Amino acid sequence: MAELSTIARPYAKAAFEYARGNSSLQQWSEQLTTVAAVMGDESVESVLGNPGLTAAQQAEVLNEVCGEEIGSQVRNFLVILASNKRLPLLPEIHTQFEQNKANQEKSVDVEVVSAFEVADETKSKLAEALGKKLEREVRVSSSIDEDLLGGVLIRAGDLVIDGSVRGRLNKLSEAINS
């Protein structure tokens, strides 16, 4: 995984810098989301994996599948990726592009995993508290994991706050065993 992110980094940075320079971060974000989703489709992946296709043909196929959803700059970007045999990196390039965009906008996506539905008021308080701590605008999404006994698990990028009962029990078990 680390190798993929290392290889994708210069492409993601170049796309981000270009989009930022042309004041088109949102458009590039939307278009890269589309292209990454298309690349994630198994049928497209198998077609593009055909060794009989040239790089230009691969880019042409991907551009045709995406259709009007992508603009000429992203189409040219896909041609460059295809010529360097980097089309499979598109999902990772998209992820890194979104991280750069979030850093630029000083925002972060936070996922709250709970054993039950989290109230909107609680989400707002959590977003406010994390926003102060992280010095960023926080967008909270929540999901339910019925395997949790209670408490919550909070993920914000690389930061993970395990406030679940299971996490606390594991810490207690480690303390007792050491």
Residues 14-23: what's their mean pLDDT?
91
Answer for the pair 19, 32: CB distance below 8 angstroms, yes or no.
Answer: no
What's residue 18's pLDDT? 92
131-172 residue pLDDT tens = 888 787 888 888 898 888 888 888 877 778 888 888 888 888
**Which residues are registered as beta bridge partners of 38?**
none
* pLDDT band at 93; cut points 50, 70, 90: very high
What's residue 122's pLDDT? 87
Which domains, ranges and CATH numbers included, belong to the chain?
A: 2-102 (1.10.520.20), 106-177 (3.40.30)
What's residue 34's pLDDT? 92
Residues 94-105: what's their mean pLDDT?
87
Q: How buried is residue 108: exposed, middle or buried, by Cβ count under 10 Å (0-12/13-18/19+)?
A: buried
**Which residues are registered as beta bridge partners of 83?**
none
Answer for the pair 39, 78: CB distance below 8 angstroms, yes or no.
Answer: no
35-86 residue pLDDT tens = 999 888 888 888 888 888 888 888 888 888 888 889 889 999 999 998 998 8
**Nearest CA to 48 among 34, 37, 59?**
59
What's residue 32's pLDDT? 92
CA distance 59 to 133: 43
Whether the predicted model's global pTM rises above the 0.95 cut: no
Give the β-pairing of 137-144 and 107-114. Answer: parallel
